[in-house]
Structure 1
């Protein structure tokens, strides 16, 4: 009887080991690779051509009109330039994954980071936006504000 209990205990240990090893899937590394590829695809897409803001909803107000006439260029060096006639506003941008030090820790996935120090309308764009979708002609972003809990939406479309 003692031998039977030892065999059962051994089988239990072996089964638990197999279950534990199976839980450590190879997909974890593939997800990192896929995430890095998506980060790079988003960067490449943003750097291609100029963009305009076609929708900006700030918590409880649509404010798209604050950016009418501006052409946004996402430069390879991390600078973000908005030009409207003789007016040029410069900021910075980046795309980071959720493991990055730039992430606010409140979301998973990829962040589209924008920073403008001024003017106030452009400061409203400064955030670590979550990506809703990216295509060759449109970048849709969202953010849940930490202070008031409101949801913001920002859409760029290629000019």
Structure 2
């Protein structure tokens, strides 16, 4: 009887492990973004915020990302430096952009959640309260 009780207790403990897979995140799902973003130049294909579609603010700019964590948005008139980071320190993979408050680039200065990423397209979103921003870069 004692052995039966021990066997039942062991089965109970094994079946009640702390691993609950219902809310797991596929960590490092987008880790190739670090190498993909460095290969070539990019442009904003879509940017929407509370004001609607504002892609036109960035359509003349080409974005070049460097391994040092810097990024430059440049057109024929202006060159705006900033910083970027692929961040895995929270429960969601993020692509952080920081251009300071210089407009219109201040709109891009966010800790963006990565929705999808490939060698040719990066789709990002940022939700704060009732405000949702969406940003898509495509490789050119």
TM over 0.5: yes
1:80 aligns with 2:61: no
Match of 2:58 in 1: 67
1:157 aligns with 2:134: no
Match of 1:11 in 2: 7
Match of 2:104 in 1: 121
Structure 2: 5+ residue stretches without partners? none
Deviation at 1:113, TM superposition (A): 0.5
TM-score (norm 2): 0.86
Provide the aligned C-alpha RMSD in A. Answer: 2.4
Deviation sequence 1:48-68 (CA, Å, 0-9, x none): 100000110012411111112
Distance in 2 between residues matched to 1:9 and 1:126, nearest whole Å: 59
Deviation at 1:38, TM superposition (A): 3.1
TM-score (norm 1): 0.76
Deviation at 1:20, TM superposition (A): 4.6
Distance in 2 between residues matched to 1:37 and 1:142, nearest whole Å: 16
Distance in 1 between residues matched to 2:16 and 2:76, nearest whole Å: 62
Structure ID, larger Rg? 1
How many residue pairs match? The answer is 138
Distance in 2 between residues matched to 1:112 and 1:151, nearest whole Å: 16
Which structure is richer in relative contact order (CA contacts within 8 A, separation 6 or more)?
2
Distance in 1 between residues matched to 2:3 and 2:118, nearest whole Å: 58
